[in-house]
Structure 1
Amino acid sequence: MKIITYMLKSFFPIFLGALLFFVLVLCLTDLFMNLWNYISKGVAFKNVGLIILYYIPKTIWYSIPIAMLFATAYMLSDFYARNELLAIFASGISLFRFTIPLLLIAVCMSFVMFFFEDYVVVPTYTKKVHMQDSVLQKEKSLNNNRIVIMADEGKIIYKADFYDDAVKRLYSTYFIVRDNEKNLRALLYAENASWIDGKWVLSNPVEYKNSTDGVVMVDVEEELLDVFIEPPETFRNNTISVEEVNTRQAREYIEHLEKAGLPSAEEKSVYYKKYSFPFVVFIVVFLAVGLSGKTRKNVLIVSLALSITAVVLFYVTQMVTMLMAKFQAIPPLFGAWFPVMLFIIISSFLLKYAKT
Structure 2
Amino acid sequence: MSRRGLITGGAVAGAAALAAPALAQTAPEVRWRCASSFPRTLDTIYGAAEHVSRRVAAMTDGKFQIRVFQAGELVPGLQVADAVQGGTVECAHTASYYFVGKDPTFAFDATVPFGMNTRQLNAWLYSGGGREALRPFFERFNTVSIPCGNTGAQMGGWFRKEIKTVQDLNGLKMRIAGIAGQVFAKLGVVPQQIAGGDIYPALEKGTIDAAEWIGPYDDAKLGFNRVAPFYYYPGWWEGALNLSFYVAKPKHDELPPAYREVLESACRDATLETMAKYDAQNPQALRQLVAAGTQLRAFPREVLQACYKAAFELYDETAARNEAFKKVYDNFRAFRDTQFQWFRVAENTFDNFVYFQHAQEQRGAAGEQRR
TM-score w.r.t. length of structure 1:
0.25
TM-score w.r.t. length of structure 2:
0.25
Q: Which has the larger radius of gyration?
A: 1
